[in-house]
Structure 1
Amino acid sequence: MKRMEEHQRQVEQCVSFLSEVVPFSPDIVIQLGTGLGNFGDTIQRTFSLPYSDIPHFPQSTVASHKGNLILGHLGDKKVAVLQGRFHFYEGYSTKEVTFPIRVLSLLGAKTLILTNAAGGLNPLFLPGSIMVMRDHLNFLGENPLRGPNVDNWGPRFPDFSTPYHPGLIKLALDSASRCKIDSVISGVYVCIPGPSLETPAETRWLRECGADAVGMSSVPESIVAKHAGMDVLGLSVVSNVNDPDHFEPIILEDIIATAEAMEAKLESLLIEIVGQI
């Protein structure tokens, strides 16, 4: 109980701080994942603040995550960009991982777009594909809603029959077609704790569980956003696809390089999606 009370107090203090310093309340939040951190430079920014200057914000320890909150405009849309995220494997709880999403939801954001780099599990996928998340599996062993519920934040037992908004999924697929971006598919994302990458046996098992791609993020954030009443869209850049019977080493630098190579296409897709929301 005391932990939840402290978490609630910290969230409310952060909301109070940001409401006094940000130029506007964003409608759309975009969280950038591994190798995808430059999108914040493409928006017409009006405000930027390092995470280290925001009360109670966790600090990213991953080199490819810059750690800035950026507010600005993308066309006529007011957006907040989280330039970098936090992970369960860094030692944070899922409540800490999702702290920025909770705060921005209380500032009035209604839509969350998550991006990440993921490993392909579906043998029909190709490296460099973009997977629109239609569902997820939470294999972290922890849920950010565990503990006393704050009724003002959302219901005790939120419905997850549609964890990712069907209208946004269709919008993303249609936007990919308009942008002439090939290899955009939809699938099921599974979140594992990390930081060790999956073994051949784990890869085989995750496939059998129904997952099309695997990563170490995004699911806690989507849970909190859905609890808060936000519409959620998830986009995964498939960095590699491994056959458990002919397994190849998974090198983090290769994952980052693939994500960075896809960044321009993902940026075009994000701009089109936001413009249509």
Structure 2
Amino acid sequence: MPEMKQVVEAAEYIGSKIQEIPRFCVVLGSGLGALADHLKDRREIEFKDIPYFPESTVVGHKGSLVIGRLNDIPVIALQGRFHYYEGYSMDEVVFPLRCMLYLKVPNLIVTNAAGSVDVNYRPGDLMIIRDHIKLHGDSPLRGPNFDNFGPRFNDMSDPYSKDIRELAKECGEELGISLKEGVYYYMPGPSYETASEIKAINILGGHAVGMSTVPEVIVAAHGGMKVMGLSCITNMGTGILDQVVGHEEVIKAGDEVKEKFIALLERIISRWNR
């Protein structure tokens, strides 16, 4: 697993490029990277230039860290993320989040493209994540604990802060954006789920399914960050409709929803901790 000295070196490299500690880290999922282009006074660092950072290999994940201001609020955005299915360890998947914790960034907005496992959640919907389910055995907290970030056994009773979820709903109403709220089910990928798996996920209480987000949220909660999660529903899960699921439609759906996605996040960030 990455050692603390590697986290420190990477975080201090990032810190040398910023003038003030960002109030928010925003992780932008598949097809949702356009928000970073709206930042003012933006500076971009490619992941490959940051010590010990992995390389993003997935289409729709640009692979850069963008520093700037959104409504005059300092923000750091990850245009792309790392996934377990790419062959990275859980520690590598969450390495950027540990850098954010070292820099003492207090808030995390994590976004993703997700498939619906519920007929009431349709492509084009934005879903506030209320909670998640992770039955996949590996964990980013497995192994020696990073004691300076959080306790060995951390609380997960409210990983997606309730007050921020309520704020997101208010912002959606103000903008005329209809938001869903539901449970995100984590699967390690890269295969899409079978029809039987989709049925099982729905029975277990999931509303949407994806291959990211949960490892990052676990580490953020461990380190005391306040978290909001937002899923863009890009497709119906296997077996719900007579369709073949592919990555191309995920990217296309993200592009179609980007205007309301950006407007919503801008409003939430402007009112968070106001």
Q: Assess same fold via TM > 0.5.
A: yes
Deviates more, 1:17-26 or 1:213-222: 17-26
- Distance (Å, rounded) in 2 between the aligned partners of 1:252 and 1:195: 11
Q: SS of 1:70's equivalent?
A: strand
> Structure 1 residue aligned with 2:114, among 115, 118, 133?
118
Q: For residue 248 of structure 1, report the CA deviation from its aligned partner.
A: 2.2
RMSD over aligned CA atoms reads 1.3
Q: SS of 2:96's equivalent?
A: helix
Q: Gapped runs of 5+ residues in structure 1?
A: none
Aligned length: 272
Is structure 2 residue 90 aligned with structure 1 residue 87?
Answer: no
Q: For residues 209-239 of structure 1, give each alpha carbon's deviation from its aligned partner in whole angstroms, at most 9, with x where no partner exists.
A: 1100000000000001111100000000011
> Structure 2 residue aligned with 1:151, among 132, 147, 151?
147
Q: SS of 2:196's equivalent?
A: helix
Percent of matched pairs sharing the same residue: 41
Is the CA contact 1:137–1:189 (under 8 Å) kept in the aligned structure 2? yes
Is structure 2 residue 266 aligned with structure 1 residue 271?
Answer: yes
Deviates more, 1:17-26 or 1:166-175: 17-26
Q: For residues 42-84 of structure 1, give each alpha carbon's deviation from its aligned partner in whole angstroms, at most 9, with x where no partner exists.
A: 0113422111110011110012111111111111311101111
Q: For residue 246 of structure 1, report the CA deviation from its aligned partner.
A: 4.9
- Distance (Å, rounded) in 1 between the aligned partners of 2:241 and 2:271: 42
Q: For residue 241 of structure 1, report the CA deviation from its aligned partner.
A: 2.0
Q: For residue 94 of structure 1, report the CA deviation from its aligned partner.
A: 1.3
- Distance (Å, rounded) in 2 between the aligned partners of 1:162 and 1:247: 36
> Structure 2 residue aligned with 1:186, among 181, 189, 196?
181
Is structure 2 residue 223 aligned with structure 1 residue 228?
Answer: yes
Q: SS of 1:21's equivalent?
A: coil
Is structure 2 residue 203 aligned with structure 1 residue 208?
Answer: yes
Is structure 2 residue 50 aligned with structure 1 residue 61?
Answer: no
> Structure 2 residue aligned with 1:244, among 228, 239, 262?
239
Give the letter aligned to residue 264 of structure 1: E
Is structure 2 residue 101 aligned with structure 1 residue 105?
Answer: yes
Is the CA contact 1:45–1:70 (under 8 Å) kept in the aligned structure 2? no
Q: SS of 1:169's equivalent?
A: helix
- Distance (Å, rounded) in 2 between the aligned partners of 1:252 and 1:49: 26
> Structure 2 residue aligned with 1:133, among 108, 121, 129?
129
Is the CA contact 1:200–1:247 (under 8 Å) kept in the aligned structure 2? no
Is structure 2 residue 14 aligned with structure 1 residue 25?
Answer: no
Is structure 2 residue 12 aligned with structure 1 residue 16?
Answer: yes
Q: Gapped runs of 5+ residues in structure 2?
A: none
- Distance (Å, rounded) in 2 between the aligned partners of 1:45 and 1:56: 26
Q: For residue 150 of structure 1, report the CA deviation from its aligned partner.
A: 1.8
Q: For residues 100-132 of structure 1, give each alpha carbon's deviation from its aligned partner in whole angstroms, at most 9, with x where no partner exists.
A: 111012102100001100000112112110000
TM-score scaled by length of structure 1: 0.95
